[in-house]
Amino acid sequence: MRIEALTVAGAVEGLRRKDFSAVELTNAYLAAISRRDHEIHSYLFVAEEIARASAKIVDRGIAEGLPLPALAGIPMAVKDNILVKDLPLTSGSRILEPYIASYDATVVARLKTAGAVILGKTNLDEFAMGSSTENSAFGPTQNPRDTSRVPGGSSGGSAAAVAGDLALAALGSDTGGSIRQPAAFTGVVGMKPTYGRVSRHGLVAMASSLDQIGPLAKNVEDTALVYQAVAGHDRYDATSSEKPVETPSPVSLAGLRIGVPKEYFGQGLDPRLSDTVRAALKKFETAGARVAEISLPHAAEALAAYYIVMPAEVSANLARFDGLRYGFASAPSKTILDFYKDTRDRGFGAEPKRRIMMGTYVLSHGYYDAYYLKAQKVRRLIRRDFEDAFKDVDVLMGPTTPSVAFPFGAKSSDPLAMYLEDIYTVAVNLSGVPALSLPCGTVAEAGRALPVGLQIIGSWFDEARLLGVSKVCESVLGKIF
């Protein structure tokens, strides 16, 4: 079995044909992890015994001739801010140690029902705050395409696991680009579904009005299979939508209206990425698509609005880590206030502290109207830009990131430089629409082919079309990795 050539759909077919067993499949991935993950560091925790035991259950089902569920025997990785019962959960932070999850997140329960085998928990920037995994309290993850570079973040471990053939697919979470940006940096497919499409129950909350869980996989078909397994209403998440989840259907590029936001090709975009994305758009046009430049007038303000709304919600959500409930607690202090402050000082890294401080500032008395309320109004305008755009086009396309994967340390000393990584992705979270990053080419640098991501944005709850369009674009672009 060559795991490099496997896909989710192909592996399920291989199990059905009895080319290999689920245990053999899981063992192949566990072997790859023990052989190569010391170099990549995509996993924080590998659940070997539990993975083998779930693979055995799948094999028993096959032996008994039971119908195979959609992800039967598929070895998957789960970002370590999503709860898997009985496994440790760190969220990339020291402050939760030694927490063991007491229940499954809804998405994990659904993966298990679909037959997936969970290999382990993947590395992330602390509390999903970052664009490189350099903010993980447990050390960074390397990019499998070039180990001197970051894999992106915050779902860098999940992206690296898929790109490095250390998992067949993975779950990540995306608050401002944390699935799409690492997918772009590592040359895999990653999708952030519509806000409310996938349950957040069992996801460690970062910014509750922006967070969504989504899949990362080697191709669009696999992404769709994982998405369909986890999507849909959940009684444990009141913000999850009751809208039915539609099956992606084949889409033709002939006559498809593609809008290209001119603001996504402005200053700060590496010209090589601009050329790569434009070359992809040209291919879609040749295949019959109608490509037209459009405008998202408030695109320039999205990052500023995001860096008010997100830290505000972070400061509220992270207030629960006080040393009393779970995880790390500092030694008893003289006053309860000292105990809280000392626990949070020693438990949190620099980036959560920075965002908690920023969030506390923008929510504090006298500044609320000028910052938070203003940002929520601008957020309405950003949302309207997308509503207007989707009156005239079916999907929007542009670069996922302004640059290719950067070397370690290149941006870690300047928070604003790191935040600018999210410039094309945050508006999607602020408005709630679904978006996917698809590898569309490479840029050569120091003898390496570094992936370039094409961001495809769909309308609210229109994942079926977004996935259909992405699939036909993928086939027009041909093999990239």
Partner 1 sequence: MSLSRESLEHLADLARIHLAEGELSRFEKELPSLLDFVAALQSVPTDAVIPVTGGTDLTNSLRRDKEVFAPLGDPEDLRTAFSNSDERGYLVVSKIFGYED
Residues ≥6 apart with Cβ < 8 Å to 481: 163, 187, 439, 451
Scan residues 186-215 and list those touching partner 1 (CB under 8 A).
Answer: 195-196, 208-211
Q: Does 157 engage in binding with partner 1 (CB under 8 A)? A: no
Q: How far apart are CA 291 and CA 373, in angstroms?
A: 36
**Identity of the residue, 38 or 235, whose beta carbon is nearer to partner 1 in the bound complex:** 235
Nearer to partner 1, 47 or 473 (CB): 47
Sign of CA dihedral 236, 241, 244, 245: negative
Task: Return the number of the residue (462 or 474) whose C-beta is nearest partner 1.
Answer: 462
Q: Which value, to the nearest 10 degrees, does the dihedral of the CA atoms of residues 10, 457, 199, 78 take? A: 50
CB of 245 to partner 1, least distance (A): 16
**Which of 182, 432, 434, 441 is in the footprint of partner 1 by CB under 8 A?**
432
Residue 5 CB contacts under 8 Å (≥ 6 apart), including other chains:
none
Q: Which residues are catalytic?
A: 79, 154, 178
Least distance (Å) between residue 398 CB and partner 1: 21
Q: Where are the alpha helices (DSSP H) in 48-176?
A: 48-63, 106-113, 156-163
Cβ atoms 121, 87 nearer than 8 A: yes
Cβ contact 123:136 at 8 Å: yes
- Of 350, 368, 387, 444, the one binding partner 1 by CB under 8 A: 350
348 binds partner 1 (CB under 8 A): yes
Q: Using the rule CB under 8 A, is 66 a contact of partner 1?
A: no
Contact (Cβ atoms closer than 8 angstroms) between residue 408 and residue 140: yes
Lookup: tokens for 141: 């993850």
User: In this complex, which beta carbon is closest to partner 1, that of residue 291 or of residue 329?
Assistant: 329
Size of the site for partner 1 (CB under 8 A): 74
Position among 1, 236, 288, 387 found at the interface with partner 1 (CB under 8 A): 236
130 near partner 1, judged by CB under 8 A: no
User: By CB under 8 A, is residue 339 in contact with partner 1?
Assistant: yes
Which is nearest to 117 in space by CA: 175, 167, 177, 183?
A: 167
Q: Using CB under 8 A as the criterion, what x/- string covers residues 78-97 for binding partner 1?
A: -------xx-----------
Q: How many CB atoms lie within 10 A of CB 294?
A: 18
First to last CA, the chain: 19
Q: Which is nearer to partner 1, 264 or 419 (CB)?
A: 419
What's the min distance (Å) between Cβ of 83 and partner 1?
A: 10
The residues in 280-299 that bind partner 1, with binding defined as CB under 8 A, are: 298
160 contacts 79 by C-beta, under 8 angstroms: no
Q: Which of 18, 38, 238, 244 binds partner 1 (CB under 8 A)?
A: 238
Please state whether beta strands 189-192 and 257-261 pair in parallel, antiparallel, or not at all (unpaired).
unpaired
Minimum distance between the CB of residue 433 and partner 1, rounded to whole angstroms?
11
State the minimum distance, in angstroms, from the CB of residue 413 to partner 1.
10
Q: Which is nearer to partner 1, 20 or 326 (CB)?
A: 326
256 SS3 class: coil
User: Could you tell me the smallest distance in angstroms from the CB atom of residue 223 to partner 1?
Assistant: 22
DSSP annotation of 231? B
Within 11-50, the residues that bind partner 1 by CB under 8 A are none
Q: Within 10 Å of residue 409's Cβ, how many Cβ atoms?
A: 11
Sole window of 67-75, 132-140, 164-172, 339-347 interacting with partner 1 (rule: CB under 8 A): 339-347
Please report how the helices 8-16 and 48-63 are oriented relative to each other, as an axis angle in degrees rounded to 10: 50
Choose between 274 and 333: whose C-beta lies nearer to partner 1. Answer: 333
Task: Give me the residues paired with residue 88 across strands.
Answer: 100
In one letter, which amino acid is 468? Answer: G
Considering only residues 361 through 390, tell me which ones interact with partner 1, judged by CB under 8 A. 361-362, 364, 370-371, 373-381, 383
Minimum separation from the CB atom of position 280 to partner 1 (A): 30
Is there binding between residue 417 and partner 1 (CB under 8 A)? no
